[in-house]
Amino acid sequence: MIIIVGLGNEGSLYQNTYHNLGFMTVDRLAKRLGIEFTKKKYKSTIALGKVKGQSVMLAKPSTFMNNSGQAVVMMKEKYKDARIIVVVDDIDLEKGKIRYRQHGHSGTHNGLRSITSFIGSEFERVRIGIGRDESKDLADFVLSKIDKNDLPLFDKAIDEACDLIMEKIS
């Protein structure tokens, strides 16, 4: 089983925010794979499918970003040997840049910190850079709507993140 977890926050208030790039990426990945988010399980909304004969679960935790580990640990307990890939926004990367790491630290991201506190650091990460807006408080910035001028950049970044994930799981 390969579990791909997009981090974000549920609800219309958070749609199209920088902090929801993980959700947006797994949504796009589901479209590419021809699967739908139809089940509620593991404190998440999930989509199940196959890639080259391998079972794949896409997940969007419903725990809110800072408690994402509560959902991921439930998946890990069920699928002990699963490969876990987490997709997340990153203020420490330039806007639109993608970074992949096989494992590592959580940095400044509370969602990754939550996951690490539950399952350790042995999971893969796909980070999508959002840069920093020094004129705003950090929480206000990450929870703000993506600037309309940046929409094409992030649309491309989501596609690149999907391409990277498909390459890694194929």
Q: What is the pLDDT of residues 112-160, one digit of tens each?
A: 889 998 998 889 999 999 998 777 787 888 888 999 999 999 999 999 9
Tell me what the mean pLDDT of segment 14-32 comes to. 95
User: β-strand 98-101 against 124-129: which pairing, if any?
Assistant: antiparallel
Flag whether pLDDT at 18 surpasses 70.
yes
pLDDT bin (cut points 50, 70, 90) of residue 2 is: very high
Tell me what the mean pLDDT of segment 35-64 comes to. 95
Given 19, 103, 105, 109, which residue is catalytic? 19
- What are the structural domains of the chain? 2-169 (3.40.50.1470)
pLDDT given for residue 145 in this prediction: 92
Q: 62-120, pLDDT tens digit by residue?
A: 998 899 999 999 999 999 999 999 999 999 899 999 999 987 665 667 788 899 989 98
- Report the alpha-carbon distance of residue 31 to residue 95 in Å, rounded: 24
SS3 state of residue 17? strand
- Report the alpha-carbon distance of residue 95 to residue 111 in Å, rounded: 19
pLDDT given for residue 107 in this prediction: 63
pLDDT given for residue 138 in this prediction: 79
Residue count of the chain, please give it: 170
Flag whether pLDDT at 53 surpasses 70.
yes
Tell me what the mean pLDDT of segment 11-39 comes to. 94
Q: Pull the structure tokens for residue 46.
A: 């999930």
103 catalytic per annotation: no
Flag whether pLDDT at 24 surpasses 80.
yes
Q: Pull the structure tokens for residue 43.
A: 């404190």
pLDDT given for residue 105 in this prediction: 64
